[in-house]
Amino acid sequence: MREERRSPNLLLTVIVPAFNEAPTVESALRRIRAIALRLEIIVVNDASTDGTREILDALAKKGLVDQVIHHEKNRGKGAAIRTGIAVATGDAVVVQDADLEYDPADLPALLLPIRSRQADAVYGSRFQGGPHRVLYFWHYVGNRFLTLLSNMFTNLNLTDLETCYKLVRTDLLKRLPLSSNRFGFEVEITARLAQARARIWEMPISYSGRTYAEGKKITWRDGFAALFHILRYNLFVPRNVQAWRLTAK
C-alpha cells in the first residue's frame, strides 16, 4: 500500500449491539477502547433484561462509551445495527459483538485497505488461517455452505459470509437500503455491497467462539432463515439501485 495515499486520521465507528450481555459487555468495551485507533463507540442495548442497560449507562458516564441507545422492545441484531448506523459519524463502521468472540486487536489491520483507499469494505475471515477456538463442526459446514450459495449469487469469492467483522465506508453504508432485523443482516449487507459494486477485501482474523452454555445465541433456525435471505436479497433488488451503486474506480 502506498503511504502517500493513506488517510491516517480516519475515525472508526464501532457499533456494539447488546442483548443480555452483562457478564462480558464491560470487558468487551474496555478491549475496544484500548486499541490504537480514533474511535467512536456506539452501543445499542436491544431491550436487555439482565442488567446490561444499567452497566452501559454507568460506562457512558465514565466516558468509556460515546453513545448508548436503548431499544425499549427487543427488535433483533440487525435492527440494533441499523440504529447504530443511523447515528454513526465516523469515516468507516464496524460491528463488534459484546460477547468477546472477536478480538478488537484485529481492527487496525482490517482498516488498512480502507485507509489506503483500496477498498470500500473489508471482511475479517475466520477461515484464512487466523488462530481460532475449535468448536462446532456443523456450524463450520453450515457457514461454508451459506458462503458458497451467497457467492454464487453475488459472484464474489468470500470465505466467511457470516463474519461479524465487516468494515464499511460510512458514506456507502448509509446509502445501502438495509432492512433486516435479525441475523439476516450479514446476508443482506453482502448482497447490497455486491450490488453497489463495492471493492471488497478479506483479511484473516482470530476467533474465540462461545458455546451455547456460554451464551451463544445463533441456532440452526437462523441458518435455515439465511437460505431464505440469500434468495430474498439477491433476487429482489431495490429499484433505486443506481442511487447507491458506486461508479467504477
Distance of alpha carbon 156 from alpha carbon 190, whole angstroms = 9
Where is 15: in which H helix or E strand? strand 11-18
- Name the residue among 178, 95, 66, 83 with its Cα closest to residue 56: 66
Q: Label the pairing between strands 92-95 and 166-169.
A: antiparallel
126 lies in some domain:
yes
Angular region, 131: left φ>0, alpha ψ -120 to 50, beta rest: beta
The pLDDT tens digits for 158-215 are 999 999 999 999 999 999 999 999 889 999 999 999 999 999 999 999 988 645 454 4
The pLDDT tens digits for 12-71 are 999 999 999 999 999 999 999 999 999 999 999 999 999 999 999 999 999 999 999 999
DSSP per-residue letters across 59-121: HHHTTS-SEEEEESS---HHHHHHHHHHH--SSEEEE--TTSSS-GGGHHHHHHHHHTTS-SE
Q: What is the CATH number of the domain that holds 86?
A: 3.90.550.10
| The predicted structure's pLDDT at residue 129 | 74
The DSSP secondary-structure symbol of 199 reads -
Output the pTM of the full model. Answer: 0.88
- Polymer length in residues for the chain: 249
223 lies in some domain:
yes
Under the banding of pLDDT at 50, 70 and 90, the label for residue 139 is: confident
**In the block, residue with C-alpha cell 455452505:** 145
180 lies in some domain:
yes
Average pLDDT, the chain: 89
247 lies in some domain:
no
The answer, yes or no, to whether residue 94 has pLDDT greater than 60, is yes
23 lies in some domain:
yes
| The predicted structure's pLDDT at residue 1 | 40
125 lies in some domain:
yes
248 lies in some domain:
no
Under the banding of pLDDT at 50, 70 and 90, the label for residue 3 is: very low
Instruction: Taking each helix axis as running N to C, give the angle between helix 25-33 and helix 52-61, from 0 to 180 degrees, rounded to the nearest 10.
Output: 30
Distance of alpha carbon 67 from alpha carbon 57, whole angstroms = 9
> Domain limits at 46?
9-239
**Tally of domains in the chain:** 1
Distance of alpha carbon 22 from alpha carbon 98, whole angstroms = 9
2 lies in some domain:
no
